Each structure stands twice: as C-alpha cells, then as structure tokens.
Amino acid sequence: MPELKDQFTLLADNTDIEKPLLDDRQYRYLKLKNELRVLVISDPHADKSAASLDVNVGSFADKEYNISGLAHFCEHLLFMGTSKYPQENEYSDYLAKHSGHSNAYTAAEHTNYYFQVGSNHLEGALDRFAQFFISPLFSKSCKDREINAVDSENKKNLQSDLWRLYQLDKSLSNTKHPYNGFSTGNYMTLHTIPESQGVNVRDILMKFHNDRYSANLMSLVILGKENLDELSTWAIEKFSDVADKCLSRPNYDGELIYKTDHMLKLIKAKPVKDLHQLDITFMIPDDLEEKWDCKPQSYFSHLLGHESEGSILYHLKSKGWVTELSSGNMKVCQGSSSYVVEFQLTPEGLNHWQDIVKTTFDYLHFINEQGPQKWIWEEIKNISEVNFKFKQKADAANTASKLSSVLYKFDEFIPADNLLSSSVVRKYDPEAITKFGSYLNIDNFRVTLVSPDFEGLSQKEKWYGTEYEVQEIPQGLLDQIKNPASNQHLHFPAPNPFIPTNFDILGKKSQSPQVSPYLISHDNKMNLWYKQDDQFEVPKGTIEIVFHLPASNVDVESATKSVVFAEMLDDHLNQITYFASLVGLRVGINCWRDGFAIYVSGYNHKLPVLLNKVLDEFFNFTPSADRFEPLKFKLCKEFKNVGYQVPYNQIGSYHLQIVNEKVYDYDDKIEILENLQFTEVEQFIKNSITFAGVFAEVLVHGNFDISNATEIKNSVSKHLDSIEPIMDEYDENKFHLQNYVFQPGEVTRFEVDLKDKNNINSCIEYYLQISPTNDDIKLRVLTDLLSTIIREPCFNQLRTKEQLGYVVFSGLRKGRTSIGFRVLVQSERSSEYLEYRIDEFIRKFGKYVNHELTDENFYKFKQALIDAKLQKLKHLSEETNRLWSAITDGYYEFDARQKHASLLETVTKQEFINFFNEYVAGVENNKNGKTGKFVLHLKSQVKNEVPNSKLVQSALSNFAYRHGYDINHEFIDSLVKKLESSSNEFIIEEYIKEVERESKATLDKEHVLQEIKSAIDNPIPEGYPSGKLIGSIEEFRENHTLGGYPHPVSPLTKFYYDQSHL
C-alpha cells in the first residue's frame, strides 16, 4: 500500500514478531498519523473476524469529575448511535444478521470495546465500530435508559461477595487515590446526586469523552481473512479521523493505593455466603510492567501457591485448617500492585487464623533467607517457554480484545518483537527477586478475615452494605512474626516430574479432516473411541472416560456419598496432579449422571503415565479419616452457597433438577451430608460403588497413534477386570438417562423463593418445549433459527427499551433428549410481571415474523446460522469437546453441524413462518396445542415497591409497543419527570396528544385513558402467573413421563476401526 505509506509508522512487521510454532497468522504493528496504535492480523482461514479498541482511560478517571460510574456509563452510552449510523441498535442489528456479537468492559485504567462477525462482513462492522470513536451521539433519549442499565448491573452484584469484598478493600484505601472510588456507578451517582446539584450528567459525560478519549491513548486490533495491506488500509481509512488530543497516560502524582496507616490492620467482614476466608495483602509500590522479562512476582506465586509437600497449603491442610489457597500479584494501576495470599478456611482454621498468618511469614522468611534458587527459576522459565511455543489460537474476539488491552506496552518499554511472547520468562534477575521479596514484609501487610460467624460488627460499607470492623493486628502476633521459627514442614517443592521433553508430532495435517472418531473397542464393558489429530499438529491430547456405575446414583444418599468419594479422591491425588497442572496437564474427577467422569489432558508425552496413576487410585482408593471432616465441611459450604449465587446463575440448576431423572435437590444433599459419617463413606467405597457393575465410555483424542490408543484401552480394561459388566449384551438403554417431558399444550409453573433474603432481584426462565425428542432434525434446525432471529429483538425490547434488567437472554435449550427455546430475565420487577412482558414480546414478535420479516433479512439470519454451524475449529480441545459431547449424549452424531447447515440451505421463509405459527404462536395466551410451556419463577423475598414514576413510564411504553406506535422514549421520560407537579391523568392526556400527533390518527381518548390507568393500577394483568403450579419436584415427576432414551443416528459398526491397522 505505497500510496498510504505517509499515513502511518511501521513499528513491527510480520517477520519481526516472535510467534508460537502453531501460529500461521500474519501480523503488522502500526502507528497512524493521529498516534493511534494498530495491530492488524491476517488469518486467511478465518471464518470469524473481529476488532477491539482499547482506550487507556477507565473508572479511575471518575474521581476528577466527581461522578462515580462515569467511565462505565460512557461505555454503555457510546454504543447508542453515531452521526453516521444514528439508529441506536444499528450496530447490534448488523452483527446479529452476520453471525456476530459485541461487548465491552470498563477496568481501572482501560475501557475495552470489541466485536466478532462473520468473516465476509468485517468492513461493514468496522465502519460502524469506528464511528463510536469519531462521532458518538450520546443520545438524550437513551441517557436515562442506560443509567437504569448501569443501575441494574450494579444491583445484579449487590449480593456478590466477590464484589462486596473488593469494594470494601477499596473503601479502606488511600482516599487521595482513585482506587478508593466506586467504579460501577448506580442510579444515585449518575442521576440523583448530579440532578440535586443542578448537574446534567450527559453534559459531564460529553466533557469526559472529549477530555479523555484521544487517539494517542487508543489501541486497535483488527483480525480478518484479508491480507495485511487490505486490513491496514481499512484501519487507516476508518480510524484516522479519531481525534488526537495529545493526552498523557494516567498518573497519580506518586500516590499509592494504600498509605502506611492502612497497613497492619485486621479487617473483619461478614459475607452473604457461607464463606470463611483469610486474605493477607501486601502493598507493592511498583506495577512491575518494566520487569516483563524476569517477572519476579512469578517466583513468589510459584512457591507460595504451591500445593505439594513442603508448601504452606500442604502443611495447613494436614492440620485441617485450610481447604484451598491461591496466591498472586495483581497490577492495580500505574505504580501500584497488590500481592494477595488467600486461604479458604475450615471452622477450625478460623480459630487458628493467627497461626496461618504466622506460617505464611515463616515460609516467606525461609524463601528470603535461602535466596533466589536458579533451578526454581529455570523450571518457571521452561514451563513458560513450552506453553508459549505450543500455544493454540484463541477465537477472534478474545484474541483482539486481549491484545488491544496490552498493546500500549509495546514499543514503549517492551520491544514490539515480543508483542505475542511477553509471557515468556527470559531473564534470571536475582536482585529483582530479592527486591520483590523485600516488599512481603512484616510492616507492609494487612489481613482481611471473612466469616458469617462474626456478629456485632460496628460499620457498614457505603455502596454494598457489607458489615465490617477494622482493628489493629494483635501485637502478640506481630511479635511472633518478627521472630520467625524454623518449620521442618516448610521447604522448597521437589523438581516437577511432568515437564514434557518429547514434542514429536505423530500425525499429519489433512486437507479434509476426519469428522468422526474410530471405535476400536465395542463390547458389553467398554466403548473406546479414538481419533488422531489431523488438523492442529500440536503435541497434546485428551483422554476422556465415563465409568457408568449405576450403584453410585441409586438415590440421593448414594449420589451424595459419590460426591464425597470424588472430593476425597481429588484431594488425595493433588500431590501428583498439582505438579501436572503447572505444565498444563489437567486432571478432572467428577460425578457423572450415573457414575464418574475422569479426564486427563495436555502435552501427550506423559499423559498415559498420569492416567494410570489416576486409575490406580480410583479403583484402589482408601480414604483418610483425617481428611473427611474438612472436605465434608467444604462440600456443605459449596452446596449451601448455590442458593446464594446471583439468581440467573441458580435458575438453570432448578430446571435441571426438575426435568432430569437422577438429579437431586441441594437441600436434600445437604441434609444427608451434615449427618454423614466417615465409616459410611468408607463402606460405600469398599462395598457398594461397583456393586451393580460397570460400563466405560472412553475417548482418546489428539497426538496419539493407534498403538497408544490400544495401550490405553488395555490399561482401562485391566482396571475393569474384577468388576462385572452392567449388561450381558451391549444395550445403550442400560447406560443412558432420560428427561421428563411436557405434554403438548401443557402450561406448568414452578415457584421458588430465593434463599438470600436480601437479594432484590427475581428471575424467570420461560421455556417452550418444542419437541420431547431430538429425533426430528428439521425441528432442531428451525428452533435454532428461531433463536438466531429472535435474539437481538428480545434483548433490544426487554433490556434496552423496557429496562427490565441487566440480564436478558434467549436461545435454544437442549435437554437430554428434548429440544426447546427459552427466555431468561433477571430483574427487580416481579417474576409475574416478567412473564407478562415476555408473553407480550412473543405476541408482537409473531407479527414481525408473519408480516415484516423480509426475504433479504431472513436470508441474512439463515446465512448467519449456517456460518456459525460451519465455523472452523480453533484448537484441539474444541474438537475434543465436540466429539465427547456427541458420544455422551448418546446420538453419536459427529457430523451434526454439517448436516444442520445443509438442511438450513433448503429452509424457506414460509417454512419458518409455519413453524413459528405452529409451535410458538399462541403460547402467550396458553393456546398453543403443540408446545409444552414451563415457567420457572425464582422469587425475591424483598417486597420491592415499584415507584409511581416507573409504573407510569412502563404503562406508556407498553401501550405504544402493544399498539405499534413509534413514540420517542425521550418524550416519555420528559413526561414522567413532570409527575412531581402533575397527576397521572394529566400525563396520560399529554401522551395521547403526542400519539395522535405522531400517528396522525384519532384515538378513543376515554378508552386509551382507561387502558393506561388500568396498567398503572394493575401492572400485572389477570391470568399471571400462568399455568398449573407444581408443589414439589416429586409431584412434577409423579405427573410426567420420561421422554425415552437417545438412540445412535447410525449403527456403531459404521465407526469400526479396520482391524488390519491394529
């Protein structure tokens, strides 16, 4: 592109940039004339393109404008239209029609915007995206709605201990530093307070954007299938108009996040969940970014976070005080970091928190006294090199977003050549390690102790209401720390035996990769599936196993004992598996529907050895009585805390408990667990778990040849020799479970009160069972297409326009054998009101489908879904997941995506309309004879009084939506503001005049007046909630039948491996 060479400076070209061995993308790093940094990435094989723009300004800038949440509010409102594309959902609509999506986040010093789109539509998406940074409208009509969206997002997090404890730490920090602020914002900070001060928050927002959004503080990444020249040209053409205001990066005038008087404090806090936690926090007066090549913090993270013999965790677990430990450094902002050692405690550990702190300092003393160990550094270095060398591609959006967020570092203090490889530890710098260790000292720490047992705490944090109290750390503890004792249980870990050395690739890349695995063992005791990697050429693999052991899940009691067995076994194996995890070898042991799932994955060199160790322990495990009580406590806590998750994360588990056989209520499991004795578990493991026989389903996938797969088959078989099979002859029905199904035309509801009595949000899952079986491929494809077409309108109406809540999504829901469609909304409004609004949306969407869906848009939606189905695999584990899902669901439909895409090509708009009218239309009136409707209400126990202004606003907006009038939301908002001095009736009359003016129609004023007044007085119409109320899960199952077993779409003989190859 010689004609544009004066429009940019080349910082690094493709040949300069160090890349992983497997990375076939090309890169070019530029700086435009307006100082905007740009990385373009050419991936000719990409079926998804992406872009991300990171602005080096975030919530820490709020402090200057005295409005908490301003940067976050800017992130929200920026998406709502531009001068070139004024329609507020133009961007999201374009992406939805081209198999795309977008998102953004606000961090302390950065705001990151990104999107992904079908690879043929990158330029159009880029053009729309660029305008957000050139000429955003910050629409007045969207302002109040996006303030409500921010407020709803904040309310979503109010009962989250993660957010509450993070804000508590910030609130107890240096008040001169912006870390002390409240970053999310809410209605009070963005509306109430500014309005009371005569401040127009939109004016401040526009000033903030004008002051802080500058090209020289922006980093752009574009990834597409086009060549580097074309991508560079687009970047120059579309982003050169972003204004450069020559701004400086954030600076805090030497202020650090904590002052001296914030240290040596004991902060006690009461959580929402059953959480016993101890945090030891050290203040690091360095962001460490210029130490990128030696990473001294990683040396301490490696040692303090280690879990093998000699570590802090190993020693404290042996005492029954701690169940988990995590350790690491977090850059907070320019010039400041914090290093945190976090412990999950048992009740006994809570009593011994001072001993835990002392043990931590004993180990720190040992590390610092011994000095930097080069062999430990070399191990960290070797692991980082191996992980970089064989790093696989991430998806387009993730790649773009992550790289844009760090691009500012390169060609500043990190050479641009290391743009992709800065994670590698390169330089042994014992002085830097020693200096970092000096920060972890007895004068530079504070302790946060968290427990629901704390009563009478004297203070409440302002934004989240967390009860807390600040005390001095006991002098006796400080005296002990100052005189560290030698502890024979604390020492350096042994060398890691799992670092791989053989990276030979056993297979060849194929131009036509095999879709299905081979079946190399098929009898009444085991199916073993095998597929050698023929796409990615990586020295990695995965071995997945499900042991179907029906005796492990006869009832809730046996299911609970199985969970304890899996937890105790995992704990016992940790001495081995932790070493493996450090080099990317992962081991999982989990309860499965009627048995246990085990997997090992990572570099294949030592995977078979690791698998044998796991299988030996699984089938010969003798549990330890000493570990029973701590692990029982851990499981009890986890089960109880399920009920304190945010509602939208809980509601899916209720659905699964209700509709699936052999899934049990957490309360029932807690009751059994609390009374469970070690001897019962011991006897269960010894005598009962294999009583009803076994069947194993195994997948060997990756860098394995047939001899490796055969060895693995023999190893599994050997471990199964002494156990009877669950069936005399092979029969899929013996090891697959079913789900309960709804009758056509049935309308049912289930109601559950939230356990968290202080959570103000309710949640609804509105589910339509399209078919009780998965056998009709056409129905599956049409349901998928419905999900694609409805997604953006559903979000736009229920979240953006009606402001029901921050969490709104819709889509396909597959059961074990059934298929359905769901809409999920979390909101402060009642779940009954949410059901009414979903019904209204579906009714209106039916009009769109039947009368407004154009042939062109239908084709775009259909093509977007086809593109999604045919999206290329990005890495080996993605293919593993796809193969394993097809095996464990019982259909063995390995080519489902290709078949669905081919079928979609033939689907006509009329077929889709007929499908909608037959299976979806009428559900809002409970008059659909083909579809089962199930509405799950998760209800807040807080009695939220909806303000009159909100009731009026909803009634006016809903009237316009119901009757098809296009009334500006800004006008409705302005009317609602007059309620302070006007009656509801006056507001309605003014509204009617506006409707008549806009629609050029004459309304029956009295009828409209009564309709709107009725909606204000009774916002939930008669008939809600709908359906027959189910009193319990048992009652549901007694009145519903199971839907049948899955059946292979093809005979399994089709997949047999040619025996001549064995």
- The strands making up 807-814's β-sheet, listed across from edge to edge, are 807-814, 819-827, 762-771, 932-939, 747-753, 1028-1030
Q: Which residues contact 573 (CB under 8 A, 6 or more apart)?
A: 587, 589, 613, 614, 617
Q: At 471, which helix (H) or strand (E)?
A: strand 467-472
d(CA 212, CA 495): 49
> Within 13 Å, how many C-alpha atoms sit on residue 388's CB side?
17
Q: What is the dihedral of CA 1006, 1012, 1017, 1022, to 10 degrees?
A: 100
Distance CA 139, CA 205 (A): 11
The residue type found at 657 is Q
- The residue type found at 833 is Y
CA distance 336 to 359: 26
- Residue 146 among the catalytic residues: no
* Distance of alpha carbon 233 from alpha carbon 650, whole angstroms: 47
In the set 75, 109, 835, 924, the catalytic residue is 75
3-state DSSP of 560-584 = HHHHHHHHHHHHHHHHHHHHHHHCC
Radius of gyration for the alpha carbons in the chain, expressed in angstroms and rounded: 30
Residue the block writes with tokens 């779409």: 1049
Closest CA to 446 of 269, 595, 623: 269
From CA 445, how far away is CA 438, in angstroms rounded? 12
Nearest residue to 219 via CA among 253, 249, 185, 187 = 249
CA distances from 952 to 31, 454, 663, 755, 873 (A): 51, 43, 44, 31, 50
Cα separation, 143 vs 923, in Å, equals 34
Alpha carbons 464 and 484: distance in angstroms, whole number? 38
Cβ pair 232, 4 in contact under 8 A: yes
Q: In DSSP terms, which residues pair with 588 in a beta bridge?
A: 599
Give the DSSP H/E element, type plus range, for residue 330: strand 322-333
Query: Which helix (H) or strand (E) element contains residue 526?
Result: strand 526-532
- What residue type is 424 in one-letter code? V
Tokens 């990769």 belong to 513
Backbone angles phi, psi at 322, to 5 degrees: -135, 140
> Among residues 538, 501, 507, which one has the least CA distance to residue 393?
538
The three-point CA angle 807-813-819 to 5° equals 155
Q: Are strands 26-32 and 101-106 parallel, antiparallel or unpaired?
A: unpaired
Read off the amino acid at residue 868.
A
Residue type, 255: E
Residue numbers annotated as active site: 75
